[in-house]
């Protein structure tokens, strides 16, 4: 599961709230009136920013270690796997049509497989990795 470090900067005393930024994903910026709101919106902003990376066929940045005072914002496991799959497709310059051919399925199914907001079974993601010559290995720490 990917976890990105978020910095929460308190607003001015008269304004209150927090501004949230991610050094690994500078496009992900949000704010919240309370700490809880800021952290909730941070997860949403991170997901939206990563979706733009993938829409533009740019490799999503790898998360770096959390620094003192930062909070870790975890992506859901399914999104983490889809980011990894899409990054591998970009590295290998494999388009959805080519992956569909390798999986013997439709381009529509591959588009669903690579859409962050679409629910996908992990077995199907593992098949896609195998079609790219990679093996999905899952561990519990």
CA dihedral in degrees (85, 61, 73, 71; nearest 10)? 160
Residues of the chain short of pLDDT 50, as ranges, are none
Determine the distance from the C-alpha atom of residue 104 to the mean position of all C-alpha atoms in its chain, rounded to a whole number. 26
What is the per-residue pLDDT for 128?
A: 96
What is the per-residue pLDDT for 49?
A: 94
What is the per-residue pLDDT for 85?
A: 94
CATH number of 3-74: 3.30.160.250
pTM, entire model = 0.85
What is the per-residue pLDDT for 1?
A: 85
What is the per-residue pLDDT for 15?
A: 74
What is the per-residue pLDDT for 37?
A: 94
What is the per-residue pLDDT for 74?
A: 93
Locate 113 and state its tokens: 């497989």
Residues 6+ apart with CB under 8 A from 5: 22, 23, 24, 63, 64, 65, 66, 67, 70, 71, 72, 73
Residues 6+ apart with CB under 8 A from 130: 136
How far apart are alpha carbons 75 and 3 in whole angstroms? 6
Closest CA to 85 of 120, 45, 47: 120
What is the per-residue pLDDT for 8?
A: 95
Give me the residue spans of the domains in the chain: 3-74, 77-131
Determine the distance from the C-alpha atom of residue 117 to the mean position of all C-alpha atoms in its chain, rounded to a whole number. 11
């Amino acid at each position: 599961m990917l976890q990105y470090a978020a910095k929460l900067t308190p607003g001015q005393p008269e304004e209150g709230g927090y501004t949230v930024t991610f050094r690994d994903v500078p496009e992900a910026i949000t704010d919240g009136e309370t700490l809880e709101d800021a952290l909730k919106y941070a997860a949403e902003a991170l997901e939206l920013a990563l979706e733009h990376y993938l829409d533009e066929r740019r490799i999503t940045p790898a998360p770096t270690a959390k620094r003192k005072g930062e909070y870790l914002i975890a992506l859901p496991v399914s999104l983490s796997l889809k980011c990894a799959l899409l990054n591998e497709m970009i590295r290998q310059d494999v388009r959805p049509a080519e992956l569909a051919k390798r999986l013997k399925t439709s381009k529509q199914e591959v588009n669903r497989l690579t859409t962050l907001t679409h629910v996908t079974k992990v077995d199907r993601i593992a098949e896609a990795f195998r079609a790219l010559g990679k093996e999905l290995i899952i561990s519990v720490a």
